[in-house]
Structure 1
Amino acid sequence: MRNNIRIYEVKSEYIKYLSNYQKHIFSQTDEKSNRKYIGIIFEIKGIKYFAPLSSYKDKHKQMKERVDIIKIKSYAVINLNNMIPVPDSQIINIDINKEKNASYRYLLQAESREVNKQKGLIRKNAEIVYTHKKFNGVSTPLAKRTNDFKLLEKLCREYR
């Protein structure tokens, strides 16, 4: 299916690099932790953006969906305010069908199905969040909790 959104991983070194410049980027401080940075990738203005998938928690049940928060059923949440530009060199393709842990494989498959049911909304909302941040700086609650895309795009271009 054309234009489907796939699930990817982003290298942790790149996440650490960006987290030095933006407080909204989650970075592991525990060196023993091997948490993967799983999410989806789409383009905004010709730049690849990675939006992290966060595990669905009890607090998400009460939360209403907003332009920057999209629930993927009770599997995950996409926080578009935390999306980051990502160079091709930092993207790791995930072959869901080769995942050895069966329960994790089923979760990824379910997330992928639900993401693609909502792909139009995800892309539309990502553009809205991106544009809102561009025009509002930090003057609104949404803009305050959103990454500085202009800065991150510069850092993405400079990353080696």
Structure 2
Amino acid sequence: MTLFHFLSFFGLTNLLNDQLGHSTGHNKTDWHHRTPLSYAAWNGHEGVVKLLLEQDTDNADSMDKDGNGQTPLAHAAWNGHEGVLKLLLEQDIVNADSMDRDGQTPLARAAWNGHEGAVKLLLEKEAVNADSMDKDGQTPLAAAAWNGCEGVVKLLLEQMLEDNQSNI
């Protein structure tokens, strides 16, 4: 882990900004293959995410997968950090429907934990497949239902009805 990882993990935006002016390495990975952006997304530190995205002119960090195949977007979705999701979804290079090594998408991760706001944001992206299945054949709808996340179940069913009507 680098100093950038620690500053990002704890959301120390001002200190991170100072360090970015003096050294490079803000996009290096740690032993989990996670970047500072990944840690900031996991913990919902919008200011740090914004700062790191500004430094990453080709936006490559926003697509970096960690050792589990999860992107910063997937980490933000898992924890329901809507502000971070918005920032990441604004990046053209971000694949909103990327799968991790278990075949789970950011939508599936948000649905599993019942994060209605995160699910709404992800469903707004055309690239997101609400019916995607992970390696065990589980869909975001099944994950939400299993965990008793009624609001998310309703959102996903509404999306499925809308998708089916547009195909008629």
| Higher-RCO chain (CA-CA 8 Å, sequence separation at least 6) | 1
- Measured against the shorter chain, the TM-score band is under 0.3
Greater strand proportion:
1
Computing the radius of gyration from Cα coordinates, the structure with the larger value is 2
TM-score by length of 2: 0.24
TM-score by length of 1: 0.25
